[in-house]
Amino acid sequence: MCERLKFRPHHFLCSLGFEGKGYSEGFTANMSAIVGGRLRRPDGEDVKIEVVAAADDICAPCPSRRGALCVAQDRIARLDAAHARALEVAPGDVLRWGEALDRMAALPAGALNEICSGCQWLAGGMCAKALDRLKADR
């Protein structure tokens, strides 16, 4: 049994849209291990994730991390708050990745433009494409 992951709220959609790009080599390798090595495996929907309000397993090697916070903490806090509302999660919640996928699939069309406002990756369209694929598959 694998140890549960810790995610801040906006990292659910980041994991869904991840395409092998990141802030540094270490960050990208870590994200690849989490997303490809755990979440996208055949048994990935059973992985348990605990929602946290600070730096998480994805943030661990991020060059912008400063302890439990981020150099862009105000922007990250806004992203987390918007994602927490949209996905109906709060710090301390534990859910399976499959449950998170269901919640993401239920987001209304165009939701990313609102909840991901201010994210540098939004314009790349990776998350929107991944969300469209998820909705089609579910």
pLDDT of res. 94: 98
Q: What is the CA radius of gyration of the chain?
A: 14
pTM over 0.85: yes
Q: 34-57: per-residue pLDDT in tens? A: 999 999 999 999 999 999 999 999
Q: Which of 1-15, 59-73, 97-111 has the highest mean pLDDT?
A: 97-111
Residue 10 banded pLDDT, cuts 50, 70, 90: very high
What is the average pLDDT across 9-13?
97
Domain residue spans of the chain? 5-137
State which amino acid sits at residue 136. A
Q: 82-130: per-residue pLDDT in tens? A: 999 999 999 999 999 999 999 999 999 899 999 999 999 999 999 999 9
Cα 116–chain centre separation: 11
